Amino acid sequence: MTGDTRRPHTGRRRNEAARRAILDVAVELLGRTDDAPVTIDTIAAAAGVGKQTIYRWWPSKGAVLLEAMAERAGHDIPVPDTGTLRGDLDEFLTATFRRAGMRLTATVLRHSMAEAQRDQHAREQMRAFVGARRDVLRGVLARARDRGEIAPDADLDLIVDQAYGVLWYRILTGHAPLGDADASRLARALSDQAAATLTP
C-alpha cells in the first residue's frame, strides 16, 4: 500500500493545554450552586483563552458543556463482578448514585440536561452519553442472563430505565437525595424483577 494520505498539517497545532483548561473551567462553572449562568465569555476568560479557540473546536456552548460533563460523570464507575446479579447491581448502583449524588456532579448533570434541551449539539452528546451509560448497565444484565439469572421475557431496557430514571429524576427535581440505601433497595427490586417470569 503506497498511498500515504498523511497530510503534513502546516501551522500551529492544537493546544492541548487550552482544551483541558476549557473543559476544567466548564465543569467548575457548571458546578457552581449560585444560579449565575455559564457563558462562553466567562469560560474563555477563566480559561485564559480566546473565544474563537472555543468555537474552533466545539460547535456551540452546549457542546463544550456536555463534553465537560461526560468526562467527569462517565468514567471510573467500575463494572462489578460479584457473581450474582443482585450483587453486581448493588455495587454498580451504589457507585453510580454516590458519584451522581456529589454536589458538584449533580449540579453539572442538572445543567447539562437542561442545556441538552435547547442546544442541538448538546442534545446529541447527551444522547451518546446516556447511551454509553445504559450500555454498561445492560452489559451487567446481559452477563447475568448468560448465568441464567434472568427470565427470558424480562424487559432489560425497562430495568435500565428504572435505574437511571430514579437517578435523573431525583437530581433534576431535587425532591430527595441519592443515598446508598436507595441504591441497594433498588438493586434488590430490579434483580427480583429481572428474575420474575411473566406467567403469574
For a copy of itself, the binding residues (CB under 8 A) are 35, 37, 110-111, 113-120, 123, 126-127, 130-131, 134, 155, 157-158, 161-162, 164-170, 172-176, 182, 185-186, 189, 192-193, 196, 200
Using CB distances below 5 to 8 A depending on partner kind, what does residue 192 bind out of a copy of itself, DNA, none?
a copy of itself
Using the rule CB under 7 A, give the single segment among 39-47, 101-109, 168-176, 189-197 that binds DNA: 39-47
Could you tell me the smallest distance in angstroms from the CB atom of residue 47 to DNA?
7
Cell numbers for 87: 450483587
Helix axes 103-118, 85-101, angle to 10 degrees: 80
Nearer to a copy of itself (CB atom), residue 58 or residue 129: 129
Instruction: Record the cell numbers describing residue 188, joined without a space.
Output: 434488590
Among 2, 3, 4, 11, binds DNA (CB under 7 A): 11
199 sits near DNA (criterion: CB under 7 A): no
Count Cβ neighbours within 10 Å for each residue of 27-61 and write b for 16 or more, e otherwise: bbbbbeeeeeebebeebbebbebeeebbeeebebb
Name residues contacting DNA, limited to 40-59 (CB under 7 A): 40-42, 44, 48-53, 55-57
Residue with cell 497545532: 13
Whole-angstrom Cα distance, residue 153 to residue 103?
A: 38
Interface residue with DNA among 20, 39, 83, 185 (CB under 7 A) is 39
- The site partner of 8 among a copy of itself, DNA, none (C-beta below 5 to 8 Å per kind) is DNA
| Sign of the dihedral through C-alpha 59, 60, 66, 71 | positive
Polymer length of the chain: 200
